[in-house]
Amino acid sequence: MLAQLSKNIFLYASQSKMLNQAAKKWGLRFGASQVVAGETIESAIKKVRELNEKGLVCTLDHLGEFVSSREEAIEATQYNIRTLEAIHRAGVQSNLSVKLTQLGLDIDFDFCLNNMRQIVETAKRYNNFVRIDMEDSAHCQATLDLLHELRRTYDNVGTVIQAYLYRAEQDVKDLKGVSLRLVKGAYKEPPEVAFQEKQQIDENYMNMIRLHLLSGSYTAIATHDHHIIEKVKKFAKENNIPRNQFEFQMLYGFRTDMQQQLAKEGYTMRVYVPFGNDWFGYFMRRLAERPQNVAFALKGFFGK
Ligand code: FDA
């Protein structure tokens, strides 16, 4: 009950425009630096290099979402392009993750599509890949439509499917052959569109993972859940799924021992590395996910 209440408060805060705007001026606060790799491209590239040295590959995410002006969306597009250039220049192993509401999805579909074309084209030039994060369910269909448009021209772009959505299984089937990151889902969604029970979400999650792996499609299993990870390892072994057809992904700052252990075992382990000054919504969603994350953040707040 208390856990549900705090979860709702953090999810509510994550969507507050006022708090998100204010936090941009605060700098990384309340322990956010534990899970956000600094505010600049340079600091993020430095972290990526350190992670690469430990055998981990990365995906960089320039934080930001729910942008409402064209200027901001264009600025974010340019920033993402600069991030791809920085990855290339530094020679580090990282691809890019983006959120479409940062690139103008709420303003105009074609405008956002055009911004994405520039980003994916740049990635193509550098032989890199762009992952479109999945946001709340209100943006799901538009995100898949935009992906579909992009994939008419580009093969270096994929997206994310969330196991809590009832529609997820059908989406995974429709996206056979597309590189997908599979997650449980991080937003507050109503029972009309999403499972509410952990057990149902976990079952649907494993079901989606099996489906996508068995269809021969590239699958990124993004979870900190060791039960799921063990099941995936076993399933891959039993079904002769080659190691280069899937990877594990975790967020920067979480379960770092397990990240390194998986890399040592020879699995591709990709760390999602967020950076930038628009950290508040991302940070609040992490606090909502696990009550223990609050303690973790406080540890950072008080300097460990
Ligand atoms: P979950 O929170 O269900 O935990 C299951 C169990 O795992 C726990 O009971 C505990 O035993 C263990 N565990 C979990 N975290 C732990 C920790 N830190 N330490 C110790 N034990 C822990 N969401 C979304 O909607 N759109 C997106 O695009 C993305 N993208 C994305 C990328 C990456 C790389 C990751 C890892 C996650 C996302 N997510 C996401 C978030 C995702 O949807 C989900 O909310 C979180 O990953 C939390 O769910 P988990 O599957 O990690 O485990």
| Annotated catalytic residue 278 | no
> pTM of this prediction?
0.93
* Residue 283 in this model has a pLDDT that exceeds 60: yes
Chain Cα centroid distance, residue 87: 18
The response to whether residue 249 sits with its C-beta less than 6 Å from ligand 1 reads yes
ipTM higher than the 0.95 cut: yes
| Annotated catalytic residue 133 | yes
The answer to whether 35 and 298 have CB atoms below 8 angstroms apart is: no
The answer to whether 179 and 171 have CB atoms below 8 angstroms apart is: no
The more confident residue out of 289 and 236 is: 236
Instruction: Determine whether the annotation assigns residue 198 to a binding site.
Output: yes
Atom of ligand 1 nearest to the CA of 99: 28
The response to whether residue 289 sits with its C-beta less than 6 Å from ligand 1 reads yes
* Residue 188 in this model has a pLDDT that exceeds 60: yes
Element (H, E) at 6: helix 2-14
Strand duo 219-222 + 130-132: pairing:
unpaired
The per-residue pLDDT for 300 is 52
Average pLDDT across the chain, whole number: 91
Q: Residue 196, SS3?
A: coil
Cα separation of 40 and 116, whole Å?
A: 21
User: What DSSP designation does 160 have?
Assistant: E
